[in-house]
Amino acid sequence: MCNMNWNSRLTTLYTGAVHDVLRDMGQKNFILPKNILALNPGQKLCGEVFTVNGETADKLDGHQTLIEWTNLLSKAPEGKVIICQPNNDQVALMGELSAETLKKRNVLGYIVDGGCRDTELILNLDFPVFCSFKTPADIVGRWIPKQLGESINIGKVVVHTGDYVVADRDGIVIIPGQLIKETVEKTEIMISTENKVRTAIMNGADPKEAYLRFGKF
């Protein structure tokens, strides 16, 4: 099945249900740190992942850092979610012009274990951005991307290009690429079962009886 179909089906899911399925499948370390939050808590972001790894570069001049950054923007693949490990807690790794560029290039959204700026302007773009802090400081003369498409570590999670992500107001869950089919199908079944439990409760069923009947609560 093509990626776009997975993306479409992922939009019907939510992190709590995906978490429960991955937990029951025996997976561990698939939730990104809880301090990485959406600029707009009402926005949801899901899709196939493209990874970026970077480093502090205080010995490079401003021109070179911007050449490297714009090169990253040029190579950002459409239809993907960029997840960045900047290895830096001082500067913003997303701003309004960059968000505008990524949106124009049909990138689905951006998640960074680091900073963001121009947040009010980004909110007006309706482009999903998740970050761990905000700062007016930019990357000029301070940071460069080093690796594109390579595995990255965020908290206890190893994220690979080709994995999938579901992110909402409750957090961010990474689905290993090789488990996408099983995870989506099982999560869809779980949500259907939850709907049956909800209906039973609304119709007066005892919660314990509903749990025993459907095996879910």
The mean pLDDT of the chain is 94
In this structure, the answer to whether residues 121 and 208 fall within a common structural domain is: no
In this structure, the answer to whether residues 161 and 109 fall within a common structural domain is: yes
Q: How far apart are CA 132 and CA 129, in angstroms?
A: 10
What pLDDT is stored for residue 2 in this prediction? 40
In this structure, the answer to whether residues 25 and 77 fall within a common structural domain is: yes
In this structure, the answer to whether residues 106 and 205 fall within a common structural domain is: no
pTM: 0.92
Question: Which residue ranges in the chain fall short of pLDDT 70?
Answer: 1-4
In this structure, the answer to whether residues 173 and 188 fall within a common structural domain is: no
In this structure, the answer to whether residues 104 and 194 fall within a common structural domain is: no
Tens-digit pLDDT profile for residues 82-107: 999 999 999 999 999 999 999 999 99
Tens-digit pLDDT profile for residues 53-68: 999 987 889 999 999 9
In this structure, the answer to whether residues 84 and 115 fall within a common structural domain is: yes
In this structure, the answer to whether residues 171 and 192 fall within a common structural domain is: no
Residues of the domain holding 191: 184-214
Domain count, the chain: 2
In this structure, the answer to whether residues 120 and 168 fall within a common structural domain is: yes
What pLDDT is stored for residue 210 in this prediction? 77
In this structure, the answer to whether residues 203 and 101 fall within a common structural domain is: no
In this structure, the answer to whether residues 132 and 45 fall within a common structural domain is: yes
The CATH number that applies at residue 134 is: 3.50.30.40
